[in-house]
Amino acid sequence: MKIKDVLVINPGSTSTKIAVYTDEAREVVFETNIVHDEEKINDFPNVAAQRVYRTETVMEFLKSKNYDMRNLSAVVGRGGMVPELKGGGYKVNEKLCTRMASADIPQHASSLGALIAYAIAKPLGLPAYIYDSTMGYDLLDIAKITGIAEVERHGGIHLLNSRAQAIKYYKAKDQDYRNKQFIVCHMGGGITANAWKAGKVVDVSSYDDGPMAPERSGGIPLLLFKRLCFDGRHTEADIDKLISGRGGLFSYLGTKDCREVERMIANGDHYAKMVYEAMVLQVAKAIAGLSCTLKGKVDVIILTGGIAHSHKLTSMIKEYCEHIAPIVVLPGESELEALAQGAVRMMQGEEITQEY
């Protein structure tokens, strides 16, 4: 089939990255990162409630570029935290949108990918897709056990960028990532790590049980957390924001910007230094824990994501973890390109398009 342009949408907690790719996702027409007013975002009662606001923002940007929507062949968004999704791509339908908007799944901005893509594509008569959902992996059965029989471990990770960076790293070595065992740690507003074997994620350190991050609490002692939940001062919405949005570095230092924290440290702020090093230690412990799942046979550890640009941060992690395996730093993310290429492969029939 003749594929024209693909619109890509990757929502983050306070931003929405979009791009238009052409020539079967080999060339980017334009891309941008729309940064939203954080106070406005925080005013919404939940993630799904942001759907109209974010869709209108995307459409306003496309209009400002004088982009002709008739050039589109498809719209693809980042996949949300739906536990039953597998890796790879899905065609978005009403049922999937309802699930993405459900209060029964973790409230994460990635769920907006499907909602915005469908809202734009449906009136145009175009297909909308998601690719590599944040929960699209194949955990070992023993990795799903939590310690409470009624609760199965799912976890949410940055699967899309983790796979893209692994493919990039091993392609440069003329090797197939599916033949390797390795760990990828994505570090942004949230920090997650994942262990790979035979091309699949078999264990994870996720955003709610792994290390603290710039805006997320990570896993914290349960007895103390229980006391916080029932102290009479915090609503369920407050707790949700402490877990994701107002936890981590923000909880201690009032900022989610690692560059600002490093400036604080450079100016002699010893408390900021201690909190930052605590985050680094937690990241290192997550990586070390996943090495056990691979029984110590780790070919490489890949550090990626936005804050992997920090030489200070990655050097500190290396001090803790380099004994496990060689550490490679691939800062930033290739999520927009990975989404576009995934959509093209589905449209060309090179990958199965799954239905929810």
Pick from 333, 341, 306, 305: nearest CA to 8: 341
Low-confidence ranges of the chain (pLDDT < 50): none
Q: Is the distance from CB of 97 to CB of 111 less than 8 angstroms?
A: no
How far apart CA 154 and CA 129 sit, in angstroms, is: 22
How far apart CA 102 and CA 201 sit, in angstroms, is: 25
* 3-state SS class at 248: helix
Q: Is the distance from CB of 211 to CB of 282 less than 8 angstroms?
A: yes
255 phi and psi angles, rounded to 5 deg: -145, 150
pLDDT at 147: 95
How far CA 156 is from CA of 96, 137, 184, 212, 351, in Å, comes to 18, 10, 14, 14, 23
Same fold, 5-138+335-355 and 159-331: yes
Q: Does domain 5-138+335-355 have CATH number 3.30.420.40?
A: yes
Q: Is the distance from CB of 31 to CB of 98 less than 8 angstroms?
A: no
Domain positions in the chain are: 5-138+335-355, 159-331
Q: Is the distance from CB of 243 to CB of 220 less than 8 angstroms?
A: no
Pick from 66, 15, 60, 70: nearest CA to 37: 15
pLDDT tens digits, one per residue of 274-317: 999 999 999 999 999 999 999 999 999 999 999 999 999 999 99
Strand segments, DSSP code E, in the chain are: 5-11, 15-22, 27-35, 72-78, 89-91, 128-131, 181-187, 191-197, 200-205, 300-305, 327-331, 354-355
Q: What letter represents residue 76's amino acid?
A: V
Q: Is the distance from CB of 207 to CB of 190 less than 8 angstroms?
A: yes
Q: What letter represents residue 323's amino acid?
A: H
- Spell out the CATH class of 159-331: alpha beta
0.95 surpassed by pTM? no
Terminal CA-CA length for the chain: 24
How far apart CA 130 and CA 100 sit, in angstroms, is: 11
